Amino acid sequence: MFLTFFFLFTLSSLLFAQTADDWVKSGIEKINNKDYDGAMADCNRALAISPQSAWAFNVRGMAKHYLQRYADAIADYEQAIIIDPKYKTAWYNRGISKHHLGRYAEAIADYDRAIEIDPQYASAYINRGFSKDAYGQYADAISDYDRGIAINPRDAAAYNSRGLAYKHLARYTEAIADYDQAIAIDAGYVDAWYNRGLAKDKLGRYADAITDYDRVIALDPGDKYAWYARGYAKNELEKYADAISDYTQDISLDPRNADAWFSRGHAKSSLGNYAGAIDDYSQVIALDPKDKTAYNNRGYAKNNSGNYTEAIADFDQAIALDGQYALAYNNRGLAKNNLGRYTDAITDYNAAITFDPKLSIAFYNRALAKYYLGQYADAVTDNDQAITLYPNYVNAYNNRGLAKSYLGRYADAIADYDHTLALDPKYTLAYNNRGYSYFKMGKTKQNYRKAIADYDMALQVGGSSYKPAFQYRDDAVAAMDKAEGP
């Protein structure tokens, strides 16, 4: 909400013989035409005629405020208040300028005084609420908005501001109701449409949020924040190509918006466009060389591109910026793992777990490195922990089954593959691995039949190009002919 001045007067034609009031009125007209220097000059003329004109000091203060000369504006309001201590508009306007200087407690005190003078001063309640909101006093701010709205129920900005306070308290449904009301009063209220979209995002109502951002962009195509927010909502709906388009528009409006470059990089990475993602993260780093997350994400894109050594260099930089950056340690371990440096990878996973004991992926990746080193029992233990932290961790169930299989615990391995397939019935590798466990259990035709059935499913789900299943299926068919039982 923009803080607004209330001009408690009307414009009239200037008389030929200019009085102090005539010059003040001329100053107001110039403020309305955004000629702030001219307005100050007119107020100076008024004060030359009438040095005790509280009105002239107040209007000159407004002109200075619009020129962002807040301290000078406050000085003029103070003069107006000295001349007329009951001049509620001067108290109110001084509160506005103090708010803009971040002097929220003082602003609140000035609004208090304006309200004491006029208990029905709706805009003073609203702006006092705004300062309380900025001060982090959200519940108190809502009380002020309630009072202002009770006095003036057609104030769209008041509903919008109360909605912002509700948002700060994570009361998103109530916030949306207030934005609805603001929009009902003023259908062209861009901030209310935008803020309603943000609140809907918080509730996971991304499609609805996009509709609101559409409206903002229709009203103001140059609103970079709306383009970015719409891109975010599309990204959450996994509409990555559409999100990229919105982020690109945001970047065209503000090429120095690192968040837009970063988010576009993320969307490109999600589409497998790692080269494009690397370029975008590089731009983020150029704008902010201390952005640890940009180094981490660029490293991740490089790792997925097979540039493991370059990826490690980026993770090194992320860790140099934050020595406790658990995810960067994990990702560096992954790159080392891809280079076959399993022991070094485990060292990084250890660090990741130390700094974030709830990072399930670090346990999962450490289990994988231990598996490659033949440390199957330890791999099972790490997968156990990964599953404890994330009970639906489908890859961890599959890999735990694989480690158990290598320990000869085929029945236990089959139970893990069963769980894997319950979570993801199209997990080709789990069918193949479960078939292998049935094959290794052997002895009975029934086990070989189950193995053959699983290899058939692997071929069905993974396609005829899934070579391991072809070989293992033939082995199971041959073994079944020699097996005992029906």
Number of H helices, E strands in the chain: 27, 0
Look at residue 133 in the predicted model and tell me its pLDDT.
Answer: 96
d(CA 349, CA 167): 38
Over residues 451-458, the mean pLDDT reads 91
Highest mean pLDDT among 13-22, 150-159, 446-455, 470-479: 150-159
Look at residue 464 in the predicted model and tell me its pLDDT.
Answer: 67
Could you tell me the CA-to-CA distances from 184 to 86, 214, 233 in Å, in that order?
36, 17, 24
pLDDT at 3 over 80: no
Asked if residue 435 is part of any domain, the answer here is: yes
DSSP letters spanning 129-150:
HHHHHHTT-HHHHHHHHHHHHH
Report the chain's mean pLDDT, rounded to a whole number: 94
Asked if residue 481 is part of any domain, the answer here is: yes
Asked if residue 457 is part of any domain, the answer here is: yes
Give the list of residues 6+ apart from residue 100 with CB closer than 8 angstroms, or none. 3, 65, 68, 70
Could you report the per-residue pLDDT of 23-60, keeping only the tens digit for each? 999 999 999 999 999 999 999 999 999 999 999 999 99
Q: How confident is the model at residue 486 (pLDDT cuts 50, 70, 90)?
A: low
Q: How confident is the model at residue 465 (pLDDT cuts 50, 70, 90)?
A: low
Look at residue 466 in the predicted model and tell me its pLDDT.
Answer: 72
Q: How confident is the model at residue 479 (pLDDT cuts 50, 70, 90)?
A: confident
d(CA 388, CA 367): 14
* DSSP E strands, 16-75: none
Over residues 277-296, the mean pLDDT reads 98
- Rounded to 5°, the CA angle 451-455-458 comes to 140
Could you tell me the CA-to-CA distances from 55 to 44, 116, 433 in Å, in that order?
12, 20, 85
Asked if residue 476 is part of any domain, the answer here is: yes
Count the neighbouring beta carbons within 10 Å of the beta carbon of residue 179: 30
Asked if residue 39 is part of any domain, the answer here is: no
d(CA 327, CA 302): 15
Could you report the per-residue pLDDT of 51-67, keeping only the tens digit for each? 999 999 999 999 999 99
**Domains identified in the chain, total number:** 1
Asked if residue 468 is part of any domain, the answer here is: yes
Percent of the chain with pLDDT over 90: 89
Encoding tokens for residue 65? Answer: 């405020």
Look at residue 9 in the predicted model and tell me its pLDDT.
Answer: 30
- Of 369, 317, 319, the residue nearest 339 (C-alpha): 369
Look at residue 478 in the predicted model and tell me its pLDDT.
Answer: 84
pLDDT at 13 over 50: no
Look at residue 329 in the predicted model and tell me its pLDDT.
Answer: 98
pLDDT at 216 over 70: yes
Burial class (CB in 10 A: 0-12, 13-18, 19+), 105: exposed
pLDDT at 10 over 70: no
Q: At what angle do helices 206-219 and 224-236 cross, to 10 degrees?
A: 160
Could you report the per-residue pLDDT of 121-136, keeping only the tens digit for each? 999 999 999 999 999 9
Asked if residue 89 is part of any domain, the answer here is: no
| Domain, as residue range, for 460 | 425-486
Look at residue 468 in the predicted model and tell me its pLDDT.
Answer: 76
Asked if residue 295 is part of any domain, the answer here is: no
